[in-house]
Structure 1
Amino acid sequence: MNRLVKTVLLAGAAWGALSASAVAQEASAEPQASTIDDVVVTARRREETLKDVPVAVSAFSSEQLEQKGAADITELTRSAPSLTLQAARGSNSTLISFIRGVGQQDPLWGFEPGVGLYMDDVYIARPQAAVLDIFDIQRIEILRGPQGTLYGRNTIGGAIKYVTKRIDADEPEGQIRASYGSFNQRDVVASAELPFNEKFGISAAVARYLRDGYGTNLNTGNEHYNKDVTAARISAEWTPTDNLFFRLAGDIVQDDSNARHGHRELAPSPASVYDTNAGAGDANRVEAKGLSLTGEWNVNDWLTLKSVTAYRDGRTRGNIDFDNLPAPILDIPARYDDDQLSQEFQAVFGGDRWSGVAGVYYLDATASGAFDTVLGLANLTTLTAGSVDTKSYAIFGDFSYDLTDALSLSVGGRWTHDEKTGTVFRQQYLGIRSPSFGNSAAVPFGAPRTNYTATREFEKFTPRVSVSYKLSPDLTTYVSWGQGFKSGGFDMRGDAVLYPDTVKGYEPETVETWEIGLKGSLFDNRFNFATAIYDSSYEDQQITTQYPAGATVASVVDNVGSSSIRGWEFEGRLRVSDNLSLNGMLSYTDAQFDQFLAYIPTGPLNANCPTLPGCIVDVSDKRDFQNTPEWTGSISATYTHWMANGSSIAFIPSASYRGDYQLFETANPVLDQDAFWMFDASLVWTSADDRLTVGLHGKNLSDEEYRVGGYVFPGALFGDSLIGYYGAPQTVTATVGLKF
């Protein structure tokens, strides 16, 4: 209750400060100050202005992101409230995402995200290759809180919508952007739109990203934290009649960056946090590709039918050296494979006082893989392999009705049925690496530790209700309540010898969220803002714990009990004058475990548990949320000066703050990240005809060293592995863009 009161008081203070600020600005604002254009989003599957949507959503246009020199979606962490987006430990392109403390901590095959990622209307089920580079987009939307009534799968924490451009040119046009920067960065992005006539056109975009490493593998001499990525998209659009539209789109991403082994935090430790002495190998390859067909039929003035058919698959081949030393003390060679086929039908409808969306969704996906846990000091390797087949069916809908000109009611729901079949195999071998990873001489050591195939079904109905009220044509307040659901599954690392119940799998998790929001514009549309408080109850949260166990590494997926997440968010944009605009955001998150029922093995980690193989213990007083700082914030300014010849130059400085946070639920004073500031700045010149741009972008100008991931495997047999992964250092990039 104290935490709820604290959050409400903070929100009340924010509302009060907002009102006071509004009065002050109205009194002092220059009469000639420009207005801010309304931002159109499709957060509720239909076009609406951002300030009218009763959902906590942030939107970033392609122009905004290009002006700031944003390279990929992880940079949105600096601009959106309550958001964590970062590359997974050991990876250049695997995405770890959290919104309001809800997300996915484990990118292994078979585990599913709590934040749904959508490219256009296609759900991307796996995090590999999901650190999407920003090119050829229209906008990116970040939806916070459960979104199951609007999106088909796994959005209990929120959703990220990556919206690509559609063809809107009357004649062929294109653009090219080239960049050169620190660490020999060389980027080229080219795109073109080719409308053959009023009914048919083709668009294409290709991007090539190259950069030397921030550090070096001192053992092999190869680059470490380098980038070698190729990405491309192509689409064909056909409009046979005014009421029909079809789009066939394909995309591919290929990441050949070297493996990221991290930095050994204990001696012997390289001087630079970007260097390593890893001996597991630097080869790494990630590839993801997809094909989608979208059809839209405007049946009449109030009904549009839509179909989205998509297929995606991906392959990952890589190595992670957990000990960061030349010898194979704790090495993990791995491979992942996945594919998914999805079909969604939507009906979008609307009249004078009502609107909504209803749909059905189907997903048939397989995620599989294998990895070795190599313990060189014991001459022992544990092979873990398996797969999860998922068939998911969902029916969802969201309906809004204007009870009066000011008062609106929205009611929605989603029914989900998942069927999962998991296969897990775990076998130890005498030798360095198993036969699956090149050592045909390895000898099986005992019987398989895990060897089972099991099927489970999960089903849930999750509703959502919201009421919004227009205080004025420019101000809307809303109250919403909703539930989110993510199905259970099987632990792909589960060791049935150490934890026999692993064959039963783990249960679903749910989130129930209350939210109160206020959004709109003030001062004749010169100040746009959105603020909200929320209160979430998180039940049966799925958390993976890995720990040393004898001569192997064991894993347990616990449904840990319950937790409470409460917070406040604010974001706004003020147009001070024709030349100057300010953007800012601030968020507060109070996330606490109320109950954390963890499996703890017998032995030094739990001396009070004498019986084999272990005990279930409530350790909520010793656990905290990972990747969830209490405070985050940012502020940026855009000052634009127009030259006499019509060209313009814009200066965009920004500062972002991220409070201290843990990398795992269990605190670790060496790995846990202290609070820090990040400072960026951009200088962009644009020609009078908007065809030529020249930019200079500085990132992390204070050269802050901050951790985004880590591993902890103590003990001499594991090389006292304490590994940290770091965000990018200070960089400066020059960019030239040409439209033709």
Structure 2
Amino acid sequence: MFTSRKTLCALAVTSALIGAMPVMAQEQGNNEEDKKTKGLERIEVTARKTVESIQEVPVAVTSIGAMELMEKGISVLTEVQQFSPNTTLQTSRGTNSTLTAFIRGVGQQDPLWGYEPGVGIYIDDVYIARPQGAVLDLLDVQRIEILRGPQGTLYGKNTIGGAVKYVTKPMSGGTEFKVQGTVGSYGQRDAKVTGQIPLVEDTLFLGFGYANLNRDGFGEFLVAPAGEDRENYNKDLQAYRLTLEYQPMDDLFMRLSYDRTDDKSNAKGGYRLLPSIVTDAPVPDSVFDSYTSLPTWNEVELEGISLMINWDASDNLSLKYIGSSREGYSPTNIDFDNTPAKVFDVPAFYDDENTSHELQANYQGENYSLVSGLYYYDGESCGHFDAILGILGQSLGAPGLTREVIGCNNSKSWAAYTQASIDITRQLSLTLGARYTDEEKEAWVGNGLIFDNVYPEDGWVDGYDRPGNPGDELVPRVLGTDTDGDGVLDAPKSESWNQFSPRIGLEFQATPDVMLFASYSQGFKSGTFNPRATVNEPAADPEIVDSIEVGMKADLSDTVRTNVTIFSLDHKDRQYIGIVPDPDDPSALNQYLDNVATSTAKGLEAEVTYAASESLTLNMAFGYLNGEIKENNAIPPLLGLANTPEITLNLAADYVLDTDIGSFVFNANYYMRDDYRLFETSDLLTQDQYGIVNMSVTWESLDGKWFGGLHGKNLTNEEYLVGGYDFVGIAEDGSYIPGLGGDLTLIGYYGDPRTVSLTFGYRF
């Protein structure tokens, strides 16, 4: 970690940069033909569920528009972490599609069903409940908004760290068509087609998008079962989007959207940081190489439909309905030990579905504005995994050994919210908000030991056994309710909570271009049951985050913009699942979920923009965070925050060159992350400070029809950890002790290596 002297030095440098080093405004156009001009652009966001200038919103928010995404060659959601201070958006372990998200040190590491995220992900205001498939490939996007800090009033549960909003591009009303192809390193070959067609002039429009994204692996499985594809870190994904927009009259608008993603990229193999002591698996030469005893196939299927209806009832009042239904299915093969032997293999299935409904009213009074709404959510999250400890089973004289866990963790909740902005004087305004949430969870878990090597599909025909229809279970239920007193848990266990989440803020418009603000807000993450329960334990209560922010949003001139936020947060009742060893059963996964910790964090975020000329622009995003564990009753004890570097820094420059053959935009950025640990209970998986360099040049023809781009990412080929598994101990003499499975299982997953890609396309 940085020393105090380093921290003070960094803050001093940042202060100097805020005052003296300008940076360019983020490009925010509603269509890709918008050109950059000298001066600060008006950036519109919907952070408060109404369209506002980003400079008028008393919330720490970063907005990255379609033009900027295209110019930088940003193709997946995780890449936008570079441009938002104190933000971690990374691909999780084992797959290419599962998201690990932390903002200001608050998030959720474990993607197992039943665990709730700490950062909310939204597509057009529809909540994405599960991390599987949340590493979204950007298709027909208008902008990405990253809201930092608790958003419990307007967005509700599971936004205690913040929220990430994916806003798709609205239709223009005419006929449009765009096709583009990309080739690049590691056999990258992508194709995207998007467009829109008016079905009834000025009334009914059909939009469509399709993406086929392919790439060979960054590495390979050096050993794998016969006949398996040995590519590691490859990509094989298709995404579809259809949108129907209907505007029968000026004050009524409807949009029906459908999207589907099919990701058949291989399961991701991890890098052994230590050689195996039970089989032939030395440390590979490349961090992208691995070994496995499991099949290498993997699949993520996501599908959703949503309906939005907006009615401008009067000049002052608009009413909106947003409804959605989403499903996800993910069979996966995760080799925890990454050896050719069955040391610790975890094949699994995840099955999720949810529906939501929201009614929203926006009212604009003479000296106040009001956003209010009602929200309902009904979600089911189920799963089944087998922890196969075959080598351990053989040492005990059995054919194999499997710890099998199945179950569902379902949720129903409703909420009512309101937030008002009241003008006290011409310069001073007050924000008051509150949300009341009532939530019920029910869950069941089957957990048992089988002295053989079995897989999730063994004995299952039509998916999962549901509560109330037990059927022939392979393992006994350990969490549930005995409804008839016969000692059998034949129904789910349930618990309910209600939560009041307030927000209060003051905004002072010191000048027409300078706003000062201070706020207190609260958010909560849902209570939940332990999906790995071994006993009939109670549910863990919700987590609570209380946050105080003081900030400034200032356009200091026509070319300089400085947005700064200082914050402090208390993260209470943190849910933590600890592994409790059983000396009589080395295969036991005795994991107990409870509210065992409290942490605090203080920090600063600065985003400075400077439009130096019509051609040259500069950008800086700086984040500083000092986190501390205050209450620590976890077993094993927490050592510090995970996925939370003390300092993040992004420096960028853009240069526009207009020529007789079109407009060229050159850009480069340097992104630095301070050192961080991957797990809160271990220092064995830590990432040292690193920085990556990206450079791009894009071109657009004079008529705006042809376009292209050359993008180089991670040009210095930095190797950096984004995930891992830690099942190893340390003896008093410093030597390693075998963990679960009897091997030295210390595994790392890494971010993308150096890549270069070329994109070319046509639009009309």
Same fold (TM over 0.5): yes
* Residue 628 (structure 1) aligned to one of 638, 641, 644: 644
Correspondence 1:589 to 2:615: no
Aligned to 1:508: 542
C-alpha contact (below 8 Å) 2:444/2:477 kept by paired residues: no
What is the DSSP-based 3-state SS (H/G/I as helix, E as strand, rest coil) of the residue aligned with 1:90?
coil
Distance 1:233 1:435 in 2: 32
Distance 1:435 1:470 in 2: 60
1:40-59 maps to which residues of 2 (within 5 A)? 40-59=44-63
1:130-529 maps to which residues of 2 (within 5 A)? 130-169=134-173, 171-196=174-199, 197-220=201-224, 222-267=230-275, 268-377=282-391, 378=393, 379-434=400-455, 436-437=457-458, 452=489, 453-496=492-535, 503-524=537-558, 526-529=559-562
Tell me how far 1:7 sits from its aligned partner: 9.6
What is the DSSP-based 3-state SS (H/G/I as helix, E as strand, rest coil) of the residue aligned with 1:183?
helix
Sort the Cα spacing of 1:9 and 1:353 in 2 relative to 1 into closer, same or farther, 3 A: farther
Tell me how far 1:156 sits from its aligned partner: 1.1
**Worse-superposed segment, 464-473 or 7-16:** 7-16
Tell me how far 1:554 sits from its aligned partner: 3.4
What is the DSSP-based 3-state SS (H/G/I as helix, E as strand, rest coil) of the residue aligned with 2:413?
strand
What is the DSSP-based 3-state SS (H/G/I as helix, E as strand, rest coil) of the residue aligned with 2:186?
helix
Aligned to 2:743: 719
User: Which residue identity is paired with 2:760?
Assistant: V
Tell me how far 1:548 sits from its aligned partner: 6.0
Output one character per residue of 1:2-30: Cα deviation in whole Å (capped at 9) or x when no partner: x99999998798567634668xxxxxxxx
Tell me how far 1:444 sits from its aligned partner: 10
Aligned to 2:96: 92
Sort the Cα spacing of 1:537 and 1:439 in 2 relative to 1 into closer, same or farther, 3 A: closer
Aligned to 1:555: 591
Output one character per residue of 1:262-299: Cα deviation in whole Å (capped at 9) or x when no partner: 11111111111101111111011110110011101100
Tell me how far 1:599 sits from its aligned partner: 3.5
Tell me how far 1:640 sits from its aligned partner: 1.1
Correspondence 1:659 to 2:695: no
Aligned to 2:466: none
Output one character per residue of 1:664-713: Cα deviation in whole Å (capped at 9) or x when no partner: 012323x2100000000001111112221111100100000101000011
C-alpha contact (below 8 Å) 2:576/2:596 kept by paired residues: yes
Distance 2:456 2:611 in 1: 64
Output one character per residue of 1:145-167: Cα deviation in whole Å (capped at 9) or x when no partner: 11121113321111111000111
C-alpha contact (below 8 Å) 2:306/2:323 kept by paired residues: yes
Aligned to 1:27: none
What is the DSSP-based 3-state SS (H/G/I as helix, E as strand, rest coil) of the residue aligned with 1:626?
coil
User: Which residue identity is paired with 2:577?
Assistant: T
C-alpha contact (below 8 Å) 2:439/2:496 kept by paired residues: yes
Distance 1:581 1:417 in 2: 48
Sort the Cα spacing of 1:285 and 1:33 in 2 relative to 1 into closer, same or farther, 3 A: closer
C-alpha contact (below 8 Å) 1:432/1:439 kept by paired residues: no
Distance 2:264 2:763 in 1: 29
Tell me how far 1:557 sits from its aligned partner: 2.5
C-alpha contact (below 8 Å) 1:349/1:356 kept by paired residues: yes
Distance 1:111 1:411 in 2: 31
Tell me how far 1:424 sits from its aligned partner: 0.7
Distance 1:181 1:152 in 2: 41
* Residue 615 (structure 2) aligned to one of 554, 566, 579: 579
What is the DSSP-based 3-state SS (H/G/I as helix, E as strand, rest coil) of the residue aligned with 1:387?
strand
Distance 2:6 2:509 in 1: 27
Tell me how far 1:34 sits from its aligned partner: 1.6
Distance 1:444 1:347 in 2: 48
What is the DSSP-based 3-state SS (H/G/I as helix, E as strand, rest coil) of the residue aligned with 1:218?
strand
Sort the Cα spacing of 1:476 and 1:329 in 2 relative to 1 into closer, same or farther, 3 A: same
Q: What root-mean-square deviation, in Å, do the aligned CA atoms of Structure 1 and Structure 2 show?
A: 2.3
Correspondence 1:121 to 2:125: yes
Aligned to 1:610: none
C-alpha contact (below 8 Å) 2:18/2:606 kept by paired residues: no
What is the DSSP-based 3-state SS (H/G/I as helix, E as strand, rest coil) of the residue aligned with 1:76?
helix
Sort the Cα spacing of 1:322 and 1:528 in 2 relative to 1 into closer, same or farther, 3 A: same
C-alpha contact (below 8 Å) 2:236/2:264 kept by paired residues: yes
Sort the Cα spacing of 1:385 and 1:37 in 2 relative to 1 into closer, same or farther, 3 A: same
C-alpha contact (below 8 Å) 1:556/1:599 kept by paired residues: no
C-alpha contact (below 8 Å) 2:150/2:547 kept by paired residues: yes
Distance 1:150 1:36 in 2: 29
Tell me how far 1:385 sits from its aligned partner: 0.3
Tell me how far 1:446 sits from its aligned partner: 9.4
C-alpha contact (below 8 Å) 2:348/2:456 kept by paired residues: no
Distance 1:141 1:126 in 2: 19
Tell me how far 1:351 sits from its aligned partner: 2.8
Aligned to 2:604: 568
Distance 1:513 1:446 in 2: 44
C-alpha contact (below 8 Å) 1:11/1:532 kept by paired residues: no
What is the DSSP-based 3-state SS (H/G/I as helix, E as strand, rest coil) of the residue aligned with 2:223?
coil
Distance 1:214 1:156 in 2: 35
Tell me how far 1:438 sits from its aligned partner: 6.5
User: Which residue identity is paired with 2:506?
Assistant: V
Distance 1:562 1:641 in 2: 52
Output one character per residue of 1:543-588: Cα deviation in whole Å (capped at 9) or x when no partner: 2334665113332323123111110000122111111001110100
Correspondence 1:545 to 2:578: yes
Q: TM-score, normalized by length of structure 2?
A: 0.88
Sort the Cα spacing of 1:547 and 1:672 in 2 relative to 1 into closer, same or farther, 3 A: farther
Sort the Cα spacing of 1:435 and 1:58 in 2 relative to 1 into closer, same or farther, 3 A: closer
Structure 1: runs of 5+ lacking an equivalent: 23-31, 497-501, 601-618
Sort the Cα spacing of 1:416 and 1:8 in 2 relative to 1 into closer, same or farther, 3 A: farther
User: Which residue identity is paired with 1:655?
Assistant: Y
Aligned to 1:599: 635
Tell me how far 1:511 sits from its aligned partner: 0.4
Aligned to 1:735: 759
Distance 2:73 2:21 in 1: 31
C-alpha contact (below 8 Å) 1:567/1:589 kept by paired residues: yes
**Worse-superposed segment, 208-217 or 552-561:** 552-561
Sort the Cα spacing of 1:376 and 1:357 in 2 relative to 1 into closer, same or farther, 3 A: same
C-alpha contact (below 8 Å) 1:428/1:444 kept by paired residues: no
C-alpha contact (below 8 Å) 1:167/1:195 kept by paired residues: no
* Identity rate, percent: 40
Output one character per residue of 1:631-661: Cα deviation in whole Å (capped at 9) or x when no partner: 000011001111135x111111110000000
User: Which residue identity is paired with 2:592?
Assistant: V
Output one character per residue of 1:480-536: Cα deviation in whole Å (capped at 9) or x when no partner: 00111112111101222xxxxx62121111000000000121222x11221100010
